[in-house]
Amino acid sequence: MEKEKKSPVSDVGAWGMNIVSSVGIIMANKQLMSSSGFAFGFATTLTGFHFSVTALVGLISNASGYSTSKHVPLWELVWFSLVANASITGMNLSLMLNSVGFYQISKLSMIPVVCVLEWILHGKNFSREVKIAVAVVVVGVGICTVTDVKVNAKGFLCACVAILCTSLQQISIGSLQKKYSVGSFELLSKTAPIQALSLLILGPFIDYFLTGKLLIDYKLSSGAFFFILLSCSLAVFCNISQYLCIGRFSAVSFQVLGHMKTVCVLTLGWLLFDSELTFKNLMGMALAVVGMIVYSWAVEAEKQTKTTLPSTLSEEDLKPLKEGIAEIPLKDSTHGEAKV
C-alpha cells in the first residue's frame, strides 16, 4: 500500500490533529491526575479507557459503513497489542523508578533507536542532512527538558523495554498498513479492542503496584468524570492521528516532528499553570524548532532527489540499454517460436 497521502492540506491537518489532541490530552490529564486537581493516579487504567472509547468509535464506524474491515491475521494484532501495552507499562514504570531527567532522555533516545531499527528491519538509509537535523532536535529538546539525571538498575531496564517497545510499535503501525493494504483507521479499529481488554484487566493491578492505591477506593466526582470523558475523547483523535501520520510519513518523522508537542506543552504550562520558563528552556525550544525545520527540508529534498534521479541519465547512458532491448528476440505468443 502506498503511503496515505491525498493533499498537502490533509497532511497538515493530520499533524495539526495530532499536536492539538496530544497537547490537549496532556493538559486534561494534568488536571485529572495531579494532587492539586482530582488526584486520579491510575494512568494505565485510564489508557484502557482511552482504547475502549477508540474501539467503540471504530465499531460504530464499521457498522455504519463509514469504514471497511480488512483482514489482518489475529496473531499479528495480538503481537502488536502486546508490544504496545509493554510500551505503556514500561513508560509508567520508567517514570516511577527514574528521575524526570532520565525519563526525558529515554524518550529522546527513541529517535535514534527508531532510525537504527528502520535500518535493521527495512534497510532504510538516511542522508547526512537528516542525521544532522535529528541530532539538532534531540539536543534542543534535551536542553529544554532534561534537568536532574538519576538512574538505577531496575529503572534503566524498564526504560530500555519502553524505548524498544515504543519504537517497534511505531514502526509496526506503518509496516502493517503497507503489508495488508489497510488504512490507518481500519488498523486502529482492529488493535484498539485487544489493547482495551488487556489494559482494563491488567491496568488496575499495574496501577496498584505503581501507586499503592486501589481503583475501587477512588471517590469519583462529577469533575473527575468530566475530565475522564474529555481525556478519552481527545485520545480518539490522538490515536487516529498517530496512525494517520505514521502511515503517511514514517516513524522517524513522527518522532522528530512530534517533539513540537513538547514545545507546545512547555509553553502552555507556562501560560496556564505558572510553570517556570527559563532562558535555557527558550534556547532549547528554539534549537528544537530549527532542527524540525531543517529535518522537514532534508526529507523533502531527499524525496525530490529520488524523484528526479531517473531523468539524470543522458542519451549516451541509455544507448546500451536500448541496443540490448533491440537484440532480444521476440517470441510468438501462439507457438513459442522466436521471431527474427
217 DSSP 8-state letter: G
Q: Please give the pLDDT value at position 5.
A: 44
**Torsion sign over Cα 312, 295, 111, 248:** negative
Q: What would the mean pLDDT of 269-288 be, rounded to a whole number?
A: 76
pTM, two decimals, is 0.74
Give per-residue burial for 146-156: e unless 16+ CB within 10 Å, then b.
Answer: beeeebeeebe
Q: Please report, as a single letter, which amino acid is at residue 267.
A: T
35 DSSP 8-state letter: T
CB 183 within 8 A of CB 3: no
Q: Please give the pLDDT value at position 70.
A: 79
CB 54 within 8 A of CB 239: yes
Q: Is the pLDDT of residue 50 over 90?
A: yes
Q: Please give the pLDDT value at position 307.
A: 62
Q: Is the pLDDT of residue 156 over 90?
A: no
Q: Please give the pLDDT value at position 3.
A: 47
CB 280 within 8 A of CB 144: yes
Of 290, 285, 259, 255, nearest in space to 270 by CA? 285
**DSSP string of 101-137, one letter each residue:** HHHHHHHHTHHHHHHHHHHHHH-----HHHHHHHHHH
Please state at what angle helix 128-145 crosses helix 260-272, rounded to 10 degrees.
20
Give per-residue burial for 201-237: e unless 16+ CB within 10 Å, then b.
Answer: eebbebbeebeeeebeeeeeeeebeebbebbbbbbbb
End-to-end CA distance of the chain: 41
Q: Is the pLDDT of residue 333 over 70?
A: no
CB 220 within 8 A of CB 76: no
Mean pLDDT of the residues in the chain: 80
Q: Please give the pLDDT value at position 139.
A: 84
Q: Is the pLDDT of residue 8 over 50?
A: no
Q: Is residue 83 very low, low, confident or very high in pLDDT (cuts 50, 70, 90)?
A: very high
Q: Secondary structure of 302-313 in the HEC alphabet?
A: HHHHHHHHHHHC
Ranges 124-128, 177-181, 225-229: which has the least confidence: 124-128
